Amino acid sequence: MDGDSMKLLKKKMILDILVIGGIICITLVRLARLGEVELSLCAQFVLVIMGIILLIGGGVYLFRKYRCPWCHRIYPGVFTVWTEECPHCGDKIE
């Protein structure tokens, strides 16, 4: 047991939350810069840091966890639908 028995759906959800959360943070700051949203400079700073951490976290997660448990290759189509089988080795994805 390596503790890596999470379902792919759960992994994808975590990855999506990290990446989307990061994008939302950065987008909010962009909107604030354009004057569309009211945010204090302090809040903008915090959001930029949070966004960067979330995106880096997503990237690290992608490379460490978002892999086939059999051939250890990263799944393609991160932001699209996935299949029941690994496209690299054809083994069933749990």
Which residue has tokens 């950065």? 26
When the beta carbons of 49 and 74 are compared against Zn ion, the nearer one is 74
Residue 74 backbone dihedrals phi, psi, to 5 degrees: -70, 135
Least CB distance to Zn ion at residue 24 (A): 32
* C-alpha span between 23 and 48 (Å, rounded): 10
Least CB distance to Zn ion at residue 7 (A): 15
Which residue has tokens 């996935």? 82
Torsion of CA 13, 18, 23, 28, to 10 degrees: 110
When the beta carbons of 33 and 65 are compared against Zn ion, the nearer one is 65
When the beta carbons of 40 and 80 are compared against Zn ion, the nearer one is 80
* C-alpha span between 93 and 75 (Å, rounded): 10
When the beta carbons of 25 and 68 are compared against Zn ion, the nearer one is 68
Least CB distance to Zn ion at residue 67 (A): 8
Binding site for Zn ion (CB under 5 A): 68, 70-71, 86, 88-89
Least CB distance to Zn ion at residue 11 (A): 14
